[in-house]
Amino acid sequence: MTYTEFMVFVMEMVGTIAFASSGAMVGIKKNMDIFGVNVLGITTAIGGGIIRDLILGITPPSVFRNYIYVTISILISCILFLIIYIKNEILSSQFLERYEQIMILFDAIGLGIFTVVGINTAINMGIEDNIFLLTFVGVVTGIGGGMIRDIMAGVTPFVLVKHVYASASIIGAISYILFIKLEIDNILSMVLSSLIVIAIRIASAKYKWNLPKIKK
């Protein structure tokens, strides 16, 4: 494994942990049992990657050939479930007040990392000049799992109704592509672009940035 491959793997693991935590927390809040919590944790972590691989013609998707992503997702989901199962007082009103902040942080980290990982996967397949496809693949990888999670949890996908979400992913994707075109080191480009997405997501939540919508 080369240095670049190792660093990409580390980023994927961080993103997997963040998104699995996000999904598991939604399941816990929705009062799901341990199976449901695991399903949401796994789906959030790997859903976007599966969609990406199918678009790029990678079959079977990489998550079915390397079980580490599903294993980590299950482990994180079970740990969170057991912690809150044993210490149920965590679900107090004080915790619920901070729930959205925790979700935003997890989602921001996962969104930033998986956006650039998705593009990097496409580039490694020789797709470098199709900027639209690279951007689309990056955004789908970033938001796909979260959208599936929200639908399974019975709520309108977060990306469609609240704060700047997909827009942050698009900006990060374009930034990464631009850095690559400028021949900036790949890992540095991935880290910088991820941080851009994370910063935009957290700032949009803190300062209540929203895209225009029709008010009833």
What integer is the mean pLDDT of 67-71? 95
Q: What CA–CA distances, in Å, run from 35 to 11, 13, 116?
A: 27, 22, 30
215 located within any domain: no
Distance of alpha carbon 188 from alpha carbon 176, whole angstroms: 10
Domain that holds residue 117: 3-206
The pLDDT value given to residue 199: 96
55 located within any domain: yes
The pLDDT value given to residue 93: 63
Residue 155 has a CB neighbour count (10 Å cut-off) of: 12
Average pLDDT, the chain: 91
Q: Would the pLDDT of 6 be above 80?
A: yes
The structural domain count of the chain equals: 1
Angle at 166 between CA 160 and CA 167, to 5 degrees: 115
Distance of alpha carbon 146 from alpha carbon 107, whole angstroms: 8
The pLDDT value given to residue 203: 93
pLDDT, tens only, 80-126: 999 889 887 777 766 766 777 887 888 899 999 999 999 999 999 99
pLDDT, tens only, 158-172: 788 777 889 999 999
**Helix residue spans in the chain (DSSP H):** 3-29, 34-56, 68-86, 93-124, 131-152, 158-161, 166-181, 186-206
Token pair belonging to 183: 């021949």
Of all residues in the chain, the percent with pLDDT exceeding 90 is: 72
216 located within any domain: no
Q: Residue 169's closest CA among 131, 208, 201?
A: 201
Q: Would the pLDDT of 56 be above 80?
A: yes
172 located within any domain: yes
79 alpha-carbon distance from chain centroid:
19
